[in-house]
Chains A and B, each alone.
Chain A
Amino acid sequence: MISYWLEGLKTALMPSNLLIMLIGVASGIVVGALPGVTSSMGIILLLPFTYYMKPETALLMLTGMYCASMFGGSISAILLRTPGTPSAAATVIDGYPLAQQGKAGKAISAALIGSFFGGLVSGICMVFLAPLLAKFALKFGPPEYFALAVFGLTIIASVSGKDLIKGLIAGLIGLLLSLIGIDNVTGSQRLTLGIDALANGFDFLPVMIGVFAVSEVLDKLEKRTPPVQTTTSLGQLLLSWEEMKSLVVPIIVGIIIGTLIGVLPGTGGTIATFLAYNELKRWSKNKEKFGQGALEGVAVCETANNAVTGGAMVPTLSLGVPGDAVTAVMLGAFVLIGIRPGPLLFTQQPRVVYSFFAGWFIIQFMMLAVGFVSSILAPNILKIKDEVLMPIVLALCIIGSFSLRNSVYDVAVALCFGVLGYLMRKAGFPMPPLVLGLILGPMAEQNLNRTLLIAKNDWTILFRRPISLTLLLAAFVSVTLSLLGAYRSSKKEAARS
């Protein structure tokens, strides 16, 4: 075992491999920060460059891209209110208000520290706890996945802001959108209203580009706000000792939830970030800070989405089952570069596995260094006037949605949802619940359907299995606590007025 580690470390520390990892990390941050260019797309774009590399070298480059893009997503989420990757959607909630308060640098620093620890500790989990966690994940069946989706949907209550009904409506619209198109079970069209173009349904990415980015462009068009004061000095980028201390709990919460969610196949960074954010907010003594610009909110989201990377690699490497959408692309990339993930990988290609493990930790430190440089440079984006920046964001949105499937339909979807998102924003509907509904809808429906097929329409199966029962109870507790919180705050508001 030790000889494998030494061999792996030697491979990862080769100057050429260090350079390759650096390129992977730097391009990962750029790709993550570009709205509409996701981690998956970045990995696919990087693949042609790896064809002539050794498998372990190629793997290190792709891993650099994968880990760093998760952090990169936070940069545009904080500076532009546009999550660079879906996993950074929750970072917007507190990251953008911080940028508006002139604390963009601090927000990026908190995101970077969270990302570093998330990646590092989840990497340790990947190395030491992989067999145990993978074994646990294997116990999950359709009832457990359905219960997990229900638990995820309860988060809508806490990301709805002040108006629960509008939050629920936004979440339901997201669910409805996820159902439009071909039904996976029967193969028939549904909810298309006779419009052929809707038969393919809505892909998650163009919808998100529309509601988050295009609607933001339209919103800026109306407000025509002067450029926000940018954090330029290093003093404002560095966190104070008190601020550092306040990040400890969010980082721990993010690591635990991110790693656990990551290890469950079929979930992903977006669910993990919203879950982690919700849990931290629920147990926090300063709930009112969340959504207004809490560093803890940014740190927990970024820790969770980077912790997902290590967790998601567990089933990917040991079982050949991807942990999320991005690792599904990674799995495809592995095969393309000559690596066959699965239980035999550890015995047949130990050199690749251990150089990957060693490289993983080096990449986290590289991300910290490159990320720090980017945190010095990135806030300057805010100095660019909206009249120049927004049309460029619009062009990037168009490319992001087009290059997904080389389809003009996706561009049209992004632009339509931009207008819809803008109108919803104007009417006071929050956007995060819509995204949650869109992500969790298919997971909830498909697994409920499978559950009922397995149990022959016996709904009690959901309560007879301990894991699904626990998750459903957690969902119930989550809703009850959120409703109580909403009731208390409405009473407080009434007393004040």
Chain B
Amino acid sequence: MSKRSDVLSGAIVSLVGLIFLLSTIGMRKPRIGLGSAGFPRLVTVCLIICGVLLIVRALLSKKERAARSRIDSSFVFSLVGLTVSFVLYVYLFKKLGFILTTGPLLFFAMYVFGSKKILLNAVLSVVTSIAIYYVFTIIFKIPLPRFSL
């Protein structure tokens, strides 16, 4: 990991710890027991300390512990695309049902994973989503959402 990555990670961890620590301010401590805030405060304070330690260690370290790797732009596009498709998927999952949402998600995922055979991807994603749907709903009796007008 690079120095910069550790400093950034440490800063994010400390910030997250601080935000959650501040959110416990309104909680009162009971006379007996830990109360709601006791354990979260202990955890968040430890988190902040560890975050700061990570930053200090990274700043004090003399050498880069590993060569900084180049970020592959096509991967960034794929990751962003997949994350956006996750959001869309979750939003449409109950509205359109399992098959109508999982099929396109699988198709897109196969494409970004490098399988450029469009027809094969389409067949595989449709067959897979239908097969999974029927295996789970009929054999395992797990009710998955389905599209209805």
Contacts and interface: CB of A to CB of B under 8 A. Distances in A.
B33 A388 contact: no
A375 to B, nearest CB: 23
Contacts of A427: 1, 5-6, 8-9
Interface string A372-399: 0000000000000111101110111011
Contacts of B147: none
A169 B43 CA distance: 10
A448 B34 contact: yes
Contact of B50 (A172, A394, A398): A172
A165 B43 contact: no
A399 B5 contact: no
Interface residues of B, number: 62
Interface string B116-143: 0000000011001100100010001111
B83 A419 contact: yes
Interface stretch (A78-86, A265-273, A349-357, A401-409): A401-409
A319 B143 CA distance: 34
Contacts of A199: none
Contact of B93 (A185, A387, A391, A408): A408
Contact of B35 (A37, A186, A395): A186
A366 interface: no
Contacts of B17: 172, 176
Interface string B8-24: 11000100010110011
Contacts, number: 158
Contacts of A2: none
Contact of A429 (B9, B94, B142): B9
A287 interface: no
Interface string A212-226: 000001101110100
A190 interface: yes
A169 B128 contact: no
A425 to B, nearest CB: 11
A323 B82 CA distance: 40
A398 B89 CA distance: 10
A390 B24 CA distance: 40
Interface in A156-202: 165-166, 168-169, 172-173, 175-176, 179, 183, 185-186, 188, 190-193
Given A190-B36, A190-B40, A449-B34, A218 B24 contact: no
B100 interface: no
B146 interface: no
Interface in A207-259: 217-218, 220-222, 224
B109 A179 contact: no
Nearest to B106: A391
Contacts of B39: 179, 444-445, 448-449
A216 B38 CA distance: 35
A220 B110 CA distance: 12
A457 B32 contact: yes
B79 A222 contact: yes
Contact of B141 (A48, A402, A415): A48
B68 to A, nearest CB: 12
B59 interface: no
Contact of B113 (A387, A395, A399, A415): A387
Contacts of B33: 185, 449, 452-453, 457
Contacts of A394: 105-106, 109
Given A218-B82, A399-B136, A176 B20 contact: yes
A221 B44 contact: no
Interface in A410-454: 411-412, 415, 418-419, 427-429, 441, 444-445, 448-449, 452-453
Nearest to B113: A387
B113 A391 contact: yes
A452 B30 CA distance: 11
B66 to A, nearest CB: 9
Most buried by B among A190, A406, A415, A456: A190
B47 A172 contact: yes
Interface in B27-75: 27, 32-40, 43-44, 46-47, 50-51, 53-54, 57, 72, 75
Nearest to B133: A399
A72 B140 CA distance: 17
A395 B132 contact: yes
Q: Which 4 A-B pairs have the closest CB atoms?
A: A391-B109, A387-B113, A387-B115, A403-B142
Interface of B: 1, 5-6, 8-9, 13, 17, 19-20, 23-24, 27, 32-40, 43-44, 46-47, 50-51, 53-54, 57, 72, 75, 78-79, 82-83, 86, 89-90, 93-94, 98, 102, 105-106, 109-110, 112-115, 124-125, 128-129, 132, 136, 140-144
Interface of A: 37, 45, 48, 165-166, 168-169, 172-173, 175-176, 179, 183, 185-186, 188, 190-193, 217-218, 220-222, 224, 385-388, 390-392, 394-396, 398-399, 402-403, 406, 408, 411-412, 415, 418-419, 427-429, 441, 444-445, 448-449, 452-453, 456-457
Given A165-B53, A172-B46, A427-B8, 11 more contacts: A45-B140, A45-B141, A179-B39, A186-B36, A191-B23, A388-B115, A391-B105, A391-B113, A398-B102, A427-B9, A428-B1
25 contacts: A165-B54, A166-B54, A169-B47, A173-B13, A183-B36, A185-B34, A190-B23, A191-B23, A221-B75, A221-B112, A385-B115, A387-B115, A391-B110, A391-B125, A392-B106, A395-B106, A396-B132, A398-B102, A399-B144, A403-B142, A415-B89, A418-B86, A427-B1, A428-B1, A449-B38
